Structure 1
Amino acid sequence: MPKPKYAIAVLISGGGSNFIAIHKAIQNGLFDGEIVFVLSSTEKAGGLKYATENEIPHFTPTADVFMSEQKFANYLLEKTTDYNVQLVVLAGFLKKIPAAFISDFSGKIINIHPALLPSFGGKGMYGRHVHQAVLDYGCKISGATVHLVNSGYDTGPPIIQKSVQVFVDDTPEILAQRVLKIEHEILPQAVAAFAEDKVIINGRKIYIG
């Protein structure tokens, strides 16, 4: 029997460009995996159109699920169990993942953040807010981080980081586009490393073999 493809669930809240980058990486043969479902925090997420066009199962929980941490944890556990998920990828997902689910899925949830953590992370630091903060601080470099998810906001150990230069005439929008390009590189790389069982976790130190 052929080996089953590595099963990935992707959680989104917007356009889903990182979700699309992972899917295209699979199509291009970067690794042998499958996005078994997409979960969106809103029915208006642009990434759902791509999921529909590519016949990827997708779900949007009702509002009451998000209002209860336990309900949301149970929902995630049920879906990931039903689809035999091996890795959960947060790709611009703006809801906090319940601690109970993080505990159940420890070491198998990753997130992409548009800055070089631990700088410019934490509650409320997403999207344009991050890039504006980088510019306001006068940073000369920024970048993106793929990290393991723990119970804090953006506090899990980094898996892959990559930097970009910040220019004096950058706006948040221009910087965001430069950072997004490397997000589309490093997130599929991280997923591929998990799929190929190359990730070594030793406390906060993570290596790719």
Structure 2
Amino acid sequence: MRIAVLASHGGTTLQAVLDACAAKTLNATVVLVISNNSNAGALARARAHDIPTRHLSSATHTDAEELDQAVCAALTEAKADYVVLGGYMKKLGPQTLKVFRNRILNTHPALLPKFGGHGFYGRRVHAAVLDAGERVTGATVHFVDGEYDTGPILGQVRVPIHATDDVAAVEDRVKRAEQRLLIATLQALSSG
């Protein structure tokens, strides 16, 4: 299975995928990494593994339609079977969503549909979960559609919240669970 990863920051999700591929727990190859941030750590991680990279953003394509076309073309040229959004902080355009329908996966650090949607990302999610007094949170992997966090859910994993937890503790525990869930979901997809 050929995987492309889109990431905006450090690339910890990308690293989890690379580690799983190297350990043979995921029968896949990362064939492209795209970032909307030219200084993203994900691009450096990819280059360290000799994976082709692309910086595609409003800085490289001021027109949203042209940016969408560029992202779609890069994914198509890489012959990506699946696309993973690993901390990618931009909404994909309609052409990319159409061409790669039911082949774009997103990870979300909560049990959707709770704590999802526009504005719910990163530590904001964990803070909202704690503020709501939840005792259990989790992670979700879902296909991407035209809205934030509303695509078909492929898998979820529950993560307990302890009375002494702060945002950082919840974030760390959920991130590890999220990465394991993503790898298991990708492996299930690669197995047919």
- Scaled to the shorter chain, the TM-score interval is over 0.9
| SS of corresponding position for 1:59 | strand
Q: Normalising to structure 1: TM-score of the pair?
A: 0.88
Letter of the structure 1 residue corresponding to residue 83 of structure 2? V
Aligned-residue CA RMSD (Å): 1.3
Q: Give yes or no for the alignment of 1:100 onto 2:89.
A: no
| Contact in 1 for aligned 2:32/2:53 (Cα 8 Å) | yes
Counterpart in the other structure of 1:112:
107
Aligned residues: 192
- What CA deviation, in whole Å up to 9, does each residue of 1:166-200 have, x standing for no partner? 12221111110010110120111111122222xxx
> Which consecutive residues of structure 2, in runs of 5 or more, have no partner in the other structure?
none
Q: Are 1:139 and 2:138 an aligned pair?
A: no
Q: Distance in 2 between matches of 1:195 and 1:129?
A: 32
Cα distance per residue 1:22-42 (max 9 Å; x no partner): 111111112321100101110
Counterpart of 2:120 in structure 1 is 125
Superposed displacement of residue 154, structure 1:
0.3
Partner of 2:164 in structure 1? 169
Partner of 1:151: 146
Identity %: 35
Query: What TM-score, normalized by structure 2, do the two folds share?
Result: 0.95
Relative to structure 1, the CA distance from residue 146 to residue 63 in structure 2 (aligned partners, 3 Å threshold; closer, same or farther) is same
SS of structure 1 residue aligned to 2:129:
helix
CA contact 2:58–2:64 (8 Å) conserved in 1: no
**Structure 1 residue 72, shift from structure 2 partner:** 2.1
The answer to whether the Cα contact below 8 Å between 1:65 and 1:71 also exists between their aligned partners in 2 is: no
2:88 counterpart SS class: coil
